[in-house]
Each structure stands twice: as C-alpha cells, then as structure tokens.
A and B are shown apart, each in its own frame.
Chain A
Amino acid sequence: MKKGSKIFLLVLNLTVFLLLFFACSKKNFKQKEIKIGILMPLSGKNAQFGIAPKNGAKLFVDEYNKNNEFTGIKIKLVIYNDESEIDKSIIGFNSLFDSGVCAIITGAESVTSLATAPVAHDCEMPLILTTASAEAITYDSKSDIFNDNVFRMGFIDSYQGEKMANFANEHLNVKRAASFYCLEDDYSMGLKEAFEKKCKQLNIEMISQDSFSINATDFQSQLAKILAKKPDVLFIPAYYDKVALIAPQAIKIGIDCPLLGCDGWGTVTKLISNSSFLENSYYCSAFSVEDDEEIARYFSESYRKKMNEEANMFSASGYDAAKVLVNAIEKSIFMGFLPENNEFRKVLIDTLKKTDLKCVTGNIVFDEHNNPKKEAVIIKITGGKERFWGRY
C-alpha cells in the first residue's frame, strides 16, 4: 500500500469517527437516505460531457457510502438524462425536484444550464455545475442577476479566454493571432470575446476572426482565408467533436501554426483520425491524469480501477462536485438541520458558499459570484498524446 492512500485512509477514519460522534450526539437523527440529483446528457452529441462526470460523482458517492456506514448519512444518486436538450433539462429538473433531491449536480454544458439555473433559483435548489462555463449561469453582469444557488466547479468562459491569451503571449511569443469560433454557441463566443479583449491589452494583433455554423462539417473555405493572413497562432474555442474535424482540414489546407484550445477539447485525441494533426497544440483544462498532486493521483488510480477507463477533466469535476456537495450536506446536518425540511436547501446553499476544500482539480474556494478560485492545467499535445504541461 502506498503512503498516499494510507494518509487518505487515516483522514477517512478520522472523519468517520467524528461523524460517529456527531451522529450519536443527535438523538432525533435516524439513518436517512439523502438524494442528490444528477442532470446530465448521457446520450446524444455531447454525451461524453455527461457520462464522465456522472461516473466521477458515482465513484465519490460509492466510496463515501462504503466508508461511512455509522454516521447515518447515506447518499443516493437520482440520475436524469437531459440529452443536451434545453426542454428535456427543464423536464428533468422538475422531475428531480419532485423526487425530493436536496441538490443537483448538473452543468455539463452552458446551454442547458443557462435554462435550468433561473428555474432552480426560484425554488432555491442548489446546483453544482461541473464544466458549464458561461458566466451568466451564476452572475449575469448585463442584467445584474445573481443566481446565488448555483456553484461552479469549472472555469468561466472569460477566465479561459484570458488564460489562453496570456499563455500565447508569455510562452509562444505570439504577435499575430487568429480566432475561429462558432457563432451559435455561447461558450465559443464567450471565450473568443475574452481572448480578443486580452490580446488587445497584450498588443497581440487579431488578424482574422472567422466563424462556423454549429452543424458544419466543412471548414475549408474559412480556413483558407485564415491561412492567407498567416497567423502565429489559431485559437479555436470549440468542443472536441468540432476540433476533430477542423484540425485535419486546417493541416490539409496548410495551416501549420500551433492551435490553441479550451477545456472543450478534452479527449480530442480519441476522436481525431490522426492525432499528429494536433501536434504542438495547447489547451487549458481543469485536470490531467499526469498531474502529480497526491489527491489527483489517488483519484486517477481509483477511477481507472472502478470504471476501467482513464479519468479526465469531466469525471474529475463530477467527483469534485459530489465531494463539495456531500461535504456541505454533512456540515449542514451536523449543524442540526434536517434534510426532510424545506429550509434545508437554503442552509445547504449557505454552507456551500463557505466551502474551502482540497479537491482533485485544485483547492475549491468560491468567489463572490460562486466561481472557484483555482489555477488551470495546460495540456500540450505531443507525440499524439494529451500531456500535462503544467499548472498555469
């Protein structure tokens, strides 16, 4: 047994004893199942963003239930598939609400979360977003609407766009940048705007801004235009399935500058026909299996063992979401609030706000708009693999 897992077990044991102590001290608290909802796309075009965090959350909950028999807290996951559709995510939210969950882990995508967040706000249902990155889900600066029940594990769009602009400036010495984005996607637009704004500040010239349609498979026409402008770097804020189509066409047309991406790129090398098309490209992410932090390593190993596949950013944020949530549920119960009561969700929101927890994707502390303050992981694609470049 490794030293790391020993420490972990020790910590777990300690928690168990503490919990036991608290559980005994509360007379009226009977063993009770506490339901957590999961609202994710488990099929359809963006299934990968939903299945992985669901597995991550399941891994945490299984571990927790197994090591936590005496406290009386048993977590049960109620899972609903929203199929990446806005209407289905609202239906799913209502059905989870009716089934009596005390919080929902959701937010695989911005589009569906933008729809569910206000609904959840009205009935004070805590939402934990895994990777949805549109700023307005938590706080919309344009309308000054703050959904204080929504907490985020991942980065907001502007954070990623700025990060990549800074990275291009500092490490790639870029003078002329181009962006290629999807006009119909809030995520893509948000990143592109932040990237451009930051580039302007850093004196990087934006020489070309081209867009593509969300259903497009052919990008040669726009890429030919980008090639003619000869950029030092091409920023493509898009999801992995689009990148798997754009990158081969970019290479074919003759674009040989590095491509920059965002967390939507995760696991792109699995989907691209030839991963050398992405050689020397960078994207930012929340997690890498090669991260050498103790807690990240433990997670990668147990995920591999349980799920028979490599962990990724999505499963890590699902795991973290469950961890943060369960931690807050525990605390609220120990403060004497009963999960049966309607006010429990309100208490849970207040407890979540005070989270300070070491998690797989970094130390989670929420800022005034419920966005996490943590570093990003930069991934570089070399030798056809997505390698950990460093925290940045």
Chain B
Amino acid sequence: MHRFNWLLIFSQFINGLQLGSIYALISLGYSMVYGIIMLLNFAHGDIIMVGGYIALISILNRFGPFISVFFAISGCAVISVLIERLAYRPLRKASKTSLLITAIGVSIFLQNLAQLIFSANGRPFPASSILKNNKMRFGKINVNSVTIITILISIISMLLLVILVHKTKLGKAMRAVSEDLESGQLMGINIDKVISFTFILGSSLAGIASIMFCCQYPLVNPTMGYMIGMKAFIAAVLGGIGSIPGAVVGGFTIGFVEIFVSAIGFSAWIDVAVFAVLIIVLLIRPFGILGRRLTEKV
C-alpha cells in the first residue's frame, strides 16, 4: 500500500487547477461563438498557435513582455475577426454543415500557413522573458509562480467576462442575440457588431490562454492548437455548449480528469478517460453539465 502523500496530492491539485484554467479560457471562446451563431468554430484552437507565434516573434524582436503580450492578444482578436468577416459572414445564411466544414477548412488553412511561414519544426518559446519562474514555498509546499499567475489571471479574465456580459449594453445585446437572433435584430441590435464583438472576446481569451500555455510548455509549433483546441471543445460540450459557467466547469473538469488519470499511473489513458467522461455526462445530461435548452446562451 502506498502511504498517503498529502503534499503530492496538493501539488497535483494545483497542476489540475492550472491545466483546467487554460482549458476553461479556451473553451469559453467555443461556447460564446456557438451561443451566438450556432457555429462550432474549429479554427479556435489554431488561434492559440497564432498567439504563440505572434508572442514569439515579438519577443525575438525585443518588444518587451507587456507589448508582446498585447500584440499576441490583439493579433488573435484581429485574425479571428478577419476569419469571421471573410469565411463565416458570407455563409451566415447557408446551412450549419457548410459553416462547420468552413471552420475545419480555416483550421487546416491556418496550420499550413504557419508551416509555410515558420517551417514545420517547432520553435522554443522564451518563456522566461514573459514570466520569470520563481519557486515559492508555503511551509512544506513548493509552488511555482507561473502556475499561480496562470490560475489567477484565468480567474480574473473569467470574472471580467461575466461582468462584461451581465453589466454592459453590449453584453446585454449578446445575451439577447443568443436568445433569439431574429428578434434581437428586430429590436435594433446590430448583429454584425455583436458577432464581431463575440469573436474578439473569445479570441482575446484564447490569446491570454496561448501566452499561459506557452509559458508552461515552452514550445511553439504549427499544430500545437489542434489537440488543445480539441480538449477545450470537449470541455465546452461537457459543460454545456453555449453556457459561460458551463465552459469554465467543463474546462476544470477536463483538467482535473487528466491530472488525476496520470497521477494514478494511467497516463496513456488520458484521452480515453476524457472522452469517457464526456460520453457519460452526455448520456445522463444531453445538454452538458450546466447547459439547458432554454437558458441564456452567450
């Protein structure tokens, strides 16, 4: 029998929080876009990769950490607005399937574009020039500053998002559009503006997540967004796609499941466990943990 190691369990808990908060940030983008235009935006994962490369290039050109982070986040926002304008808007009246396939196409396009520009080889990410990693000690417990900052920034961004959606006029418009797009339009809401705003919000969160991700796992490559995007998508579906608290709950659930499964020694089974959790939850609650057919969807 193993001795119960509380220190180990605590550090695994922190690891789960950190991984989960990154998933949560990304799955928010999936969830919001789905809430507004019922689109599974598969290019969202690749926005992470775009953010990573923008941050990398900015740092290599000596722009300093703050400006680099700003560039990365705004770059993600600009690119996703462009994607929406060029790829999704012309298809807004088309069937949902066409839109979904377009999203997959955009994802493949972004990956290959990055391979063309930056080559297929990965590039090291100079994590220490954005976040210096300091070891912090609380009694017997070793915690890394990067981990703590990741968790804190994620939680702050999520709180800001909730305030934005519930307290501002644009947020109100978003909620209205997600409730019923046509009625919202009749009430005088500028749909294009709201949709662009949703994309900006979602991809800015993805930009933040991308910086966090690259600081934790300092390697940027053209296909890095695929798997993490997939996991975040699962998180969004698990939590109830279209629901903001659902995306957060889903993200943390996936993070904890992954850490738990590898902590008990089944690391090769991580993906199996994640999908198994998804299947079980969807069998019991087809709309996800917090998703309801008629609740607010933003």
Interface-lining segment among B26-34, B117-125, B242-250 = B117-125
Inter-chain CA distance A225–B124, complex, in Å, is 26
Q: Does B156 belong to the interface (CB within 8 Å)?
A: no
Binding-face segment, A206-214, A289-297, A308-316, A371-379 = A206-214
Instruction: Provide the residues of chain B in CB contact with A43, threshold 8 Å.
Output: 115, 120
B8 touches A224 (CB 8 A): yes
- How far, in whole Å, are A131 and B53 apart by their CA atoms in the complex? 31
Q: Which of B217, B259, B265 gathers the greatest number of chain A CB atoms within 10 Å?
A: B217
Give the nearest-CB partner of A277 in chain B. B218
A342–B117 Cα gap in the complex (Å)? 44
Establish whether residues A210 and B218, one from each chain, have CB atoms under 8 Å apart when the complex forms. no
Check if B221 sits within 8 Å of A273, measured CB to CB: no
Which residues of chain B are near A274, meaning CB under 8 Å?
A: 126-128, 218
Contacts of A212 in B (CB 8 A): 262, 267-268
Interface assignment of B142: CB less than 8 Å from any CB of chain A: yes
Q: Contacts of B119 on A, CB cut-off 8 Å?
A: 47
Q: Is B21 in the interface zone, CB < 8 Å from A?
A: no
Is A6 at the interface (CB under 8 A from chain B)?
A: no
**A218–B268 touching, CB < 8 Å:** no
Q: In the bound complex, what is the Cα–Cα distance between A24 and B5 (angstroms)? A: 80
Also in contact, A224 and B11, with CB within 8 A (given A211-B268, A273-B125, A273-B126)? yes
Distance in angstroms between the alpha carbons of A317 and B175 in the assembled complex: 61
Chain B, residue nearest A47 (CB): B120
Which of these, B124, B125, B135, B259, contacts A221 with CB under 8 Å?
B259
User: Smallest Cβ distance from B209 to chain A, in angstroms?
Assistant: 13
Partner of B15, one of A44, A211, A224: A224
Q: Which residues does chain A contribute within 8 Å of B219, judged by CB atoms? A: 217, 241, 244-245, 271, 273
Separation of A148 and B67 alpha carbons in the complex (Å): 59
A30 contacts partner chain B, Cβ-Cβ < 8 Å: no
Chain B: minimal CB distance from A212 (Å) = 5
Closest to B266 in A: A211
Q: A183-B268, A211-B268, A221-B262 are in contact. Are A252 and B144 (CB under 8 A)?
A: yes
CB atoms of B121 and A222 under 8 A apart: no
Whether A94 sits at the interface, judged by CB under 8 Å, is: no
- In the assembled complex, the Cα of A274 lies from the Cα of B124 at a distance in Å of 8
Decide: A213 and B271 in contact? CB cutoff 8 A: yes
Q: How far is the CB of B13 from chain A (nearest CB, A)?
A: 10
Q: Cβ of A213: which chain B residues have Cβ within 8 Å of it?
A: 267-268, 270-271
> A211-267: which have CB < 8 Å to B?
211-213, 215-218, 220-222, 224-225, 228, 241, 244-245, 248-249, 252-254
Q: Is residue B223 contacting chain A, with contact meaning CB distance below 8 A?
A: yes
In the complex, what residue of chain A is closest to B133 when comparing beta carbons?
A: A252
B46 at the interface (CB under 8 A from A): no
Chain A residues with CB under 8 Å of B259's CB are: 218, 220-221
CB distance from A224 to the nearest CB of B (A): 5
Name A217's contact: one of B15, B126, B228 (CB within 8 Å): B228
Task: Write the chain A residue with the least CB distance to B262.
Answer: A221
**A248: which of B15, B19, B127, B262 is its contact (CB, 8 Å)?**
B127
Q: Which residues, 126 to 148 on B, are CB-close (under 8 Å) to A? A: 126-128, 133, 135, 142, 144, 146
How close is A28's CB to chain B, nearest CB, in angstroms?
A: 47
Q: Is A305 an interface residue (CB 8 A)?
A: no
- Residue pair B263, A218 in contact (C-beta under 8 Å): no
State A216–B224 Cα separation when bound (angstroms).
11
Contacts of B265 in A (CB 8 A): 210, 225
> Is the beta-carbon distance between B258 and A218 smaller than 8 angstroms?
yes
CB distance from A241 to the nearest CB of B (A): 6
User: Whose C-beta in chain A lies nearest to the C-beta of B218?
Assistant: A273
Q: Which residues of the other chain, B, contact A244 by a CB distance below 8 angstroms?
A: 122, 124, 218-219
- B216 beta carbon closer than 8 Å to chain A: yes
Cross-chain contact of A44 among B7, B120, B127 (Cβ < 8 A): B120
Any A CB within 8 A of the CB of B60: no
- A200 sits at the interface (CB 8 A): no
Chain A residue contacts of B15, Cβ below 8 A: 218, 220-221, 224
Partner of B121, one of A48, A217, A220: A48
CB distance from A221 to the nearest CB of B (A): 4
B102 near A: Cβ within 8 Å? no
Set of chain A residues within 8 Å of B19, measured between Cβ atoms: 218
Among A221, A252, A253, the residue within 8 A (CB) of B263 is A221
Interchain nearest-CB distance for A214 vs B (Å)? 9
Q: Which of B8, B121, B258, B267 has a CB less than 8 Å from the CB of A47?
A: B121
Q: Within 8 Å CB of B58, what residues of A? A: none
Residues of B close to A248: CB separation below 8 A: 127, 218
The verdict on A270 contacting chain B, using a C-beta distance below 8 Å, is yes
Complex alpha-carbon distance, A110 and B15, angstroms: 33
Q: Which chain A residues in 16-69 approach chain B with CB under 8 Å?
A: 43-45, 47-48
**Is B268 a contact of A210 with CB atoms below 8 Å?**
no
How far is B74's CA from A277's CA once the two chains are assembled, in angstroms? 32
**Cα of A284 to Cα of B179 in the assembled complex, Å:** 61
**Which one, A44, A216, A270, A273, contacts B270 given CB within 8 A?**
A216
- Docked complex: B83-126 residues within 8 A CB-CB of A: 115, 119-126
Residue of B nearest to A254 (CB): B142
New contact pairs (7) apart from A211-B267, A271-B124, CB-CB < 8 Å: A43-B120, A183-B267, A216-B270, A218-B15, A218-B217, A245-B219, A249-B217
A residues adjacent to B (C-beta < 8 A): 43-45, 47-48, 183-184, 210-213, 215-218, 220-222, 224-225, 228, 241, 244-245, 248-249, 252-254, 270-274
Counting from the closest, the 6 A-B pairs by CB-CB distance are A273-B218, A183-B268, A221-B262, A217-B217, A273-B124, A220-B15
